[in-house]
């Protein structure tokens, strides 16, 4: 009797096992997705995170966009030099002092579900992004649009409340991505699980935290993609991502840790491609919190930090030391700000001039990143030399963002991925009450210049304004810029035709495997 019972238990375990494996939750065939990839018809891309969203109008994570590039097209795009070029719009005209944009659209485009792409589809997309009810993160980017009018089946007019020169640049990002109106209406909130665009690849399937598969779209209007299938795998851990690349499981990764770059360069099977950053990294100072409400202390911090040492020690010189939030790659960068090493004597003097004794504050660092932790420690020791004591506190990222928004901090280590246009990189950070202005910073001149730089269209004028802003920010020091995180993509030597765009997004249609 007992023996039989035991037998049943054993059988039960086996049965569980079979059930366990049987209902693995996959619908399509992905058996080849994790095999060592030898086929030249499949590209396996390793991402640094599982994209939270496949709906561009709901997306707030940069990693989403790596996948969007294959599924969607934008109205206008950038080329490898960052110049705006036609994509779904063949041409455009800016009239009425920069307040009216008229786009002429391609006539040979279909969405992957067969829906024709036309002016109505464009209007549908803009209306969805602008509708406050859809709570789209895009609203803050294109909120200056007052209305979108269909002029003819392939001509659409976008009218702005006031001139807004970064608009085209913003449309190269998620705000300009066109979703199939049919699919959006059909799927509703579930669109993210069944995304449909006009891009070179169409969505096949997704198993969360495991893979996203896309296949070449036969009806694609542009040059046919060279590789039939692309599989995206998320590897949040940098070591795991690199191991998969080294062992041949993955063909291309969207980013590698700075500490690993030398190792990858030495590997005979791998190569690394570099592009200057468009974002910035540094320390947000709460300008309403003592002692950081004292401008002398903030200036002292600015001078006490040896950015070159940080770049060398922590980032192996694969980042560029920063003195303003506008990176070297941007036309708006002000190269006259040169203080990348520490001036300890001047910083000490500033601390004395502040009249404050026992100067100390807490610096919050996002938990889970060794690099950020090292950065905190280096800043701590550099500031100690000038008489400022820093306490470090590790905080989980989501919590840190909230504490930032609530101004519940002294200082936090936070940066920004940046945008192609300088306006997108700094406006929301330094305008009074801006969405990213965790500092609580407000300077009437900076506000004026930021707004002017949005409305004037001459690049020369804009450059001058951004230089003035950078210099004022250096003086007021609400944000301590430390480095520009350059972008590194690592891949197998067999990956051909990869083009590194300044927005760091992988456009897979030009890639082939040897």
Partner 1 sequence: MLLYIARRFFLMIVILFLVSIMVFGLINIIPGDPASLMLGQEATPQALASLRQNLGLNDPLYLQYIHWVGGVLQGNLGYSLSDHTPVLNILLSKIPVTLELTIFAFLLAVLIAVPAGIISAVHKGSVWDYVTTVFALSGVSIPAFWLGILLIYLLSLTLGWLPPSGYVAFAQNPVRNIILMIMPSIALGIRLSAQLTRMLRSSLLEVMQSDYIRTGYAKGLLEKAVVFKHALRNAMLPVLTVAGLELSSFLGGAVITETIFAVPGLGQLIVNAILTRDFPVVQGAILFMAFAVVIVNFLVDIAYSLLDPRISLGGASK
Q: Which of residues 420-439 bind partner 1 (CB under 8 A)?
A: 428, 435-436
Please select the residue that binds partner 1; options are 40, 61, 309, 317, rule is CB under 8 A.
61
SS3 of residue 349 by DSSP: helix
CB of 439 to partner 1, least distance (A): 13
User: According to the binding rule CB under 8 A, does residue 209 interact with partner 1?
Assistant: yes
Please select the residue that binds partner 1; options are 84, 94, 130, 139, rule is CB under 8 A.
139
User: According to the binding rule CB under 8 A, does residue 286 interact with partner 1?
Assistant: no
Site for partner 1 in 251-270 (CB under 8 A): none
Instruction: Could you list the beta-strand ranges (E) of 32-99.
Output: 42-47, 76-78, 84-86, 89-95
Q: Which helix H or strand E contains 366, and what residues bound it?
A: strand 359-366
CB of 5 to partner 1, least distance (A): 6
Contact indicator for 383, 389 with CB cutoff of 8 Å: yes
Site string for partner 1, 189-208 (x = CB under 8 A): xx-xx-------------xx
Contact indicator for 107, 154 with CB cutoff of 8 Å: yes
Please select the residue that binds partner 1; options are 338, 355, 357, 398, rule is CB under 8 A.
398
User: According to the binding rule CB under 8 A, does residue 33 interact with partner 1?
Assistant: yes
Q: Residues 6 or more apart from 475 whose CB is under 8 A from it?
A: 299
Site for partner 1 in 334-393 (CB under 8 A): none
User: According to the binding rule CB under 8 A, does residue 172 interact with partner 1?
Assistant: no
Q: Which residue has the tokens 């779904």?
A: 88
User: According to the binding rule CB under 8 A, does residue 146 interact with partner 1?
Assistant: no
Q: Which residue has the tokens 């719009």?
A: 89
Residue 231 bridge partners (DSSP): 44, 213
Choose among 398, 387, 314: nearest CA to 364.
Answer: 398
For 368-395, letters b (16+ CB in 10 Å) and e give: ebebbbebbebbeebbeebbbebebbeb
User: According to the binding rule CB under 8 A, does residue 22 interact with partner 1?
Assistant: yes
Please select the residue that binds partner 1; options are 133, 218, 338, 357, rule is CB under 8 A.
133
Q: Which stretch binds partner 1 (CB under 8 A): 120-128, 395-403, 441-449, 465-473?
A: 395-403
Choose among 381, 203, 406: nearest CA to 288.
Answer: 406
User: According to the binding rule CB under 8 A, does residue 9 interact with partner 1?
Assistant: yes
Residue 19 or residue 444: which is nearer to partner 1 going by CB?
19
User: According to the binding rule CB under 8 A, does residue 38 interact with partner 1?
Assistant: no
User: According to the binding rule CB under 8 A, does residue 104 interact with partner 1?
Assistant: no
CB of 395 to partner 1, least distance (A): 9
Residue 249 or residue 471: which is nearer to partner 1 going by CB?
249
Number of residues binding to partner 1, judged by CB under 8 A: 72
Residue 207 or residue 328: which is nearer to partner 1 going by CB?
207
Please select the residue that binds partner 1; options are 36, 95, 336, 445, rule is CB under 8 A.
36
Contact indicator for 353, 311 with CB cutoff of 8 Å: no
362: tokens are: 């807490």
Q: How far is CA 7 from CA 1, 69, 213, in A?
A: 10, 54, 42
């Amino acid at each position: 009797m007992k023996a039989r019972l035991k037998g049943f238990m054993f059988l039960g375990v086996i049965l569980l096992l079979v059930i366990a494996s049987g209902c693995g939750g996959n619908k399509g065939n992905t058996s080849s997705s994790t095999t060592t990839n030898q086929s030249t018809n499949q590209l396996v891309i390793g991402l640094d995170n599982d994209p939270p969203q496949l709906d561009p109008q709901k997306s707030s994570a940069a990693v989403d966009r790596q996948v969007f590039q294959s599924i969607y097209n934008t109205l206008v795009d950038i080329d490898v030099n960052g110049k705006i070029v036609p994509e779904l719009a063949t041409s455009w005209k800016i009239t009425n002092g920069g307040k009216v944009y008229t786009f002429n659209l391609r006539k040979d485009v279909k969405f992957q579900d067969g829906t024709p792409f036309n002016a109505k589809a464009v209007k549908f997309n803009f209306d969805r992004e602008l509708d406050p009810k859809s709570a789209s993160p895009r609203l803050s980017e294109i909120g200056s649009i007052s209305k979108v009018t269909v002029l003819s089946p392939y001509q659409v007019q976008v009218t702005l409340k006031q001139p807004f020169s970064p608009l085209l640049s913003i449309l190269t990002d998620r705000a300009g991505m066109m979703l199939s109106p049919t699919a959006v209406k059909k799927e509703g909130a579930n669109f993210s699980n069944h995304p449909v665009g006009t891009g070179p690849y169409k969505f096949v399937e997704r198993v969360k935290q495991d893979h996203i598969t896309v296949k070449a779209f036969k009806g694609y209007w542009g040059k046919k993609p060279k590789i039939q299938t692309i599989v995206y795998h998320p590897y949040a851990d940098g070591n795991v991502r690199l191991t998969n690349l080294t062992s041949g499981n993955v063909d291309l990764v969207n980013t590698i840790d700075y500490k690993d770059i030398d190792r990858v360069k030495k590997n005979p099977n791998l190569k690394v491609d570099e592009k200057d950053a468009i974002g910035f990294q540094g320390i947000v100072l709460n300008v309403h919190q003592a002692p950081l409400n004292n401008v002398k202390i903030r200036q002292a911090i600015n001078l006490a930090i040896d950015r070159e040492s940080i770049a060398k020690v922590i980032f192996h010189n694969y980042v560029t030391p920063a003195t303003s939030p506008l990176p070297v790659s941007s036309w708006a960068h002000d190269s006259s700000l040169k203080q990348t090493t520490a001036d300890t004597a001047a910083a000490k003097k500033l601390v004395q001039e502040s009249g404050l004794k026992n100067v100390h504050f807490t610096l919050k660092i996002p938990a889970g990143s060794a690099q950020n932790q090292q950065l905190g420690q280096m800043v701590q020791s550099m500031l100690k030399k000038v008489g400022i004591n820093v306490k470090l506190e590790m905080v989980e990222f989501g919590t840190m963002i909230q504490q930032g928004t609530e101004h519940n901090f002294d200082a936090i280590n936070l940066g920004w991925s940046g945008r192609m246009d300088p306006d997108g990189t700094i406006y929301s950070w330094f305008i009074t009450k801006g969405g990213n202005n965790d500092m609580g910073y407000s300077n009437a001149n900076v506000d004026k210049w930021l707004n002017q730089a949005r409305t004037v269209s001459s690049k020369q004028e804009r450059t001058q304004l951004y230089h003035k802003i950078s210099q004022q920010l250096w003086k007021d020091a609400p944000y301590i810029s430390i480095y520009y995180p350059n972008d590194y993509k690592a891949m197998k030597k067999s990956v051909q035709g990869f083009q590194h765009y300044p927005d760091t997004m992988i456009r897979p249609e030009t890639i082939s495997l040897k």
